[in-house]
Amino acid sequence: GRGWVREKEQTRIIWRDLNPVWKQSYNWEMWNPDKEVVEMSVWDEDGETDDFVGSASFSIYELSYDQMTGEMPQLSRSLNLYGPDGELVRGFNNITSKNDGPPTKLLIKARYVTFLRPSDLMNGLLSQLEDPDPIPRIAASKAMQALAPPGGDDAMLAALQMLWDDSHAVRAQAVRDLQWVGRGEPQKVLGHLGRMLEEGDTRERKRMVITGMAAVVDGGVG
């Protein structure tokens, strides 16, 4: 037999088996789980043509996040197969020699999991840079460097912003971040730092900008 899911994925063919077990898994991204339905059809490979056996479906709503328990339930279910006219597909009956035996079942396991898009996660980290406590700011910056490629605008702007922070620990992290982002587009980062050097109104700020420039150059060379 062979199973399909919305014609997006196709299982392997299980030959010469009246009770095929596919043991395959698939993932789909869904934007409206309350209305999404997964449809599956099972076919019998038969020479040059495929014979339709039946279809089954289940609603993603059944897998939705349970806000009361905080659980992501896994659906493990035995689904009936239905023919092209909506009739229940039944197995072969050895007594009557007809397909009027027990209903044919499709056993499935499914789970619905929520996740953050990278852009949403980056926006959340950027908001952490406004935290008055330096520890969350440093943690957010480190996470941004892990997520963003060298030269990413968000990571670069965050590092530049932190370079003039009141916290010494945050400024030190900014220098390390600039060394990382400088591996992507060093000239772009140095251009921003050059403007900051002109705007620096204290000796300490100018010193931090120069330190940042040196870090960018070191990162580009490395």
Convert the pLDDT of each residue in 207-216 to its tens digit.
Answer: 999 999 999 8
Same domain, 130 and 88: no
pLDDT of residue 179: 86
- Reading the block at residue 177, the tokens are 């971040």
Same domain, 11 and 90: yes
Structural domain that includes position 19: 2-111
Same domain, 144 and 212: yes
Span 109-118, average pLDDT:
71
**SS3 assignment for 141-195:** HHHHHHHCCCCCHHHHHHHHHHCCCCCHHHHHHHHHHHHHHCCCCHHHHHHHHHH
pLDDT of residue 82: 87
Span 139-148, average pLDDT:
76
pLDDT of residue 1: 41
pTM over the 0.85 mark: no
Predicted confidence (pLDDT) at residue 119 exceeds the cutoff of 90: no
**Reported confidence tier of residue 116, pLDDT bands at 50, 70, 90:** low
**Reported confidence tier of residue 197, pLDDT bands at 50, 70, 90:** very high
Predicted confidence (pLDDT) at residue 79 exceeds the cutoff of 60: yes
pLDDT of residue 70: 52
Domain total for the chain? 2
Same domain, 133 and 77: no
DSSP β-bridge partners for residue 109: 76
Mean pLDDT value across the chain: 78
